[in-house]
Amino acid sequence: MSQLPFDSGAVLVVDKPLNWTSFDVVKKIRYEICKHYSLKKIKVGHAGTLDPLATGIVVICTGKKTKTIDQLINESKQYIGEIRLGSTTPSFDLETKIDNEFPIPKLDESVLKQISENFLGELNQIPPLYSAKKINGKRAYQYARNNETIELKPSKVTIYSIRLKIINKNTISFNCHCSKGTYIRSLARDIGLFLKSGGHLISLKRIKSGNFTIEMAKSIDEWIDIIKTS
């Protein structure tokens, strides 16, 4: 591999591990670059947040390449994962415990087709309360963790394609290509509501961000090795 100018500007496609925040990845990469190049500081940012309980692509920009972050954030994303039906959690995923249980809908191919048709195209989606969305200068999850009640306004998002598969009687898997700003946790909740049941996300992996695919991604350790040998 040719040497990348990390200190002046590079784009790193990272396969984020479970339980890391996107900012954890930024901090680690920044630390390793500053250490290797003996820098006091360097601009490092990410082109789109990925939840701690999700894995997959986080695009990291360094140096002058941070000027491209806004452009990269606006590009579409693709995810795979699984949704558990018949129960909900306040965070719409496994960050919080189940708060309600519902009858499990009978699943078959016709039901999957109905879901796909209903959620294809432009949607008004209400973000999760447990999210990094800013409300009056404060992150939504900060309100949630303080048990404060706030109203989240719906945002327009677009689902370009969604493929579903039955895993077992209460679990479906998905492959979803969507616009920026789409919350897959909200999609899980909304699919549960559509089925007159409940739903929450139990796994999520981002496999594409713009033109960057998961096959291009490297682990944090791999990127650190590349930085150290550049």
Assess whether 69 and 158 both reside in one domain: no
Identify the CA nearest to 157 among candidates 135, 190, 129, 130: 190
pTM of the predicted model as reported, rounded to 2 decimal places:
0.93
The span from the CA of 144 to the CA of 131, in Å, is 9
Specify the number of domains making up the chain. Answer: 2
The span from the CA of 101 to the CA of 83, in Å, is 14
Known catalytic residues are: 51
> Mind listing the pLDDT tens digit for each residue in 71-116?
999 999 999 999 999 999 999 999 999 999 999 999 999 999 999 9
Assess whether 83 and 113 both reside in one domain: yes
Assess whether 84 and 187 both reside in one domain: yes
Assess whether 151 and 94 both reside in one domain: yes
Mean of per-residue pLDDT scores for the chain: 93
Residue 65 lies in a domain: yes
What is the tally of helices (H) and strands (E) in the chain? 6, 13
Identify the CA nearest to 182 among candidates 98, 31, 79, 101: 79
Question: Would you state the pLDDT for residue 75?
Answer: 97
The span from the CA of 193 to the CA of 105, in Å, is 11
DSSP string, 38-74: T-S---EEESS---TT-EEEEEEEEEGGGGGHHHHHT
Band (39; pLDDT cuts 50, 70, 90): very high
Residue 32 lies in a domain: yes
Domain limits for position 26: 9-74+210-228
Assess whether 97 and 185 both reside in one domain: yes
The CATH number covering residue 166 comes to 3.30.2350.10
